[in-house]
Amino acid sequence: MAVTDLNLAGAQQVADEISGAAYELDVRSDESIQAAVTAAEADLGPVDALINNAGYDEWGFFTKTDPDLWDRVLAVNLRGVIAVTHAVLPGMQERRRGRIVNTASEAGRVGSSGSAIYSAAKAGVIGFTVAASWGAAIRRQLDFPADVMAWILSWVLLSGIFLAFAWWLLPHAASHWTEVAPGAALVGVAVILLGVFNWLILYPWLSEKEETYGVLGVAAGLLFGFFLIGRTIELSASLNAVLAKRRSA
């Protein structure tokens, strides 16, 4: 494993902890990037995984910033991601394997007070990652774990709550089932469609581990939807049988 940093001593300290190798790399310099990639591949072999996580910011209200600050922040947070990816992606394509993880930020989606240029850079990382992944057939992974996991966990919890509520409520609604049944069936269908829609929206942003939780979350929602529909059919059939007996009597 190669550890790169502008601070070679710091990179070496980390490399020693993980039995890796350290290389000096300045993401603002194309020459430095190429030299580091060449040295790492000569020592360790082809680059099969790249993590772009170099970051830099200078806090300040936008009107108080200047073009030099813009260039410094954009050079590290955006151009560096593009340049290092450009240096290693062709080799991955030739070998038909590889992973690239680009570290973005919620600032790139919703902005961050006092960090307008940093927010713009991270928004650029998000857009670059999505666009490049379509062209290179690579998995998109951005650092939205808190946001993604909040969606998944809320889906699991809401599905469990609704399932428990439905398990208790539906049998007690038999006396008014003709009024309740259409709504219950529609809710079941809506839950199923919502689960599928959420999965389609979330899937491109999930890592392999998050995909596992996502499958569980969506599965819970789908089971709840099918449960509602099944109980609707079951109780409707039971009610119809009771009503038929009463009519025959």
Q: Are 55 and 77 in contact (CB under 8 A)?
A: yes
Same domain, 110 and 89: yes
Residues 126 and 191 grouped into a single domain: no
Q: What is the dihedral of CA 41, 42, 45, 50, to 10 degrees?
A: -10
| Residues 121 and 210 occupy one common structural domain | no
In this structure, are 234 and 150 located in the same domain? Answer: yes
Which of 49-53, 87-91, 139-143 shows the lowest mean pLDDT across its residues?
139-143
Q: Given 97, 119, 136, which residue is the final one in a domain?
A: 136
What tens digit of pLDDT does each residue of 4-28 get? 999 999 999 999 999 999 999 999 9
For residue 69, the number of C-alpha atoms closer than 13 Å in the C-beta half-sphere is 16
Shared domain for 168 and 230, answered yes or no, is yes
Query: Do 112 and 157 belong to one domain?
Result: no
**First vs last Cα of the chain: how many Å apart?**
81
Distance CA 193, CA 200 (A): 11
Question: What is the set of active-site residues?
Answer: 118
Number of domains forming the structure of the chain? 2
Q: What is the CATH number of the domain that holds 74?
A: 3.40.50.720
The larger pLDDT score, comparing residue 97 to residue 165, is at 97
2-5 and 21-24 strand pairing: parallel
Among the listed residues 54, 56, 52, the one whose alpha carbon sits nearest the alpha carbon of residue 71: 56
- The per-residue pLDDT for 113 is 83
Q: Is the domain of 224 the same as that of 198?
A: yes
Kindly report, residue by residue over 92-109, the tens digit of the pLDDT.
888 888 889 898 888 888
Q: Which domain holds residue 167?
A: 145-248
136, 167, 200 — which closes off a domain? 136
Amino acid in position 169: L
- Angle 161-166-171 from CA coordinates, rounded to 5°: 150
125 and 161 share one domain: no
194: tokens are 């919502």
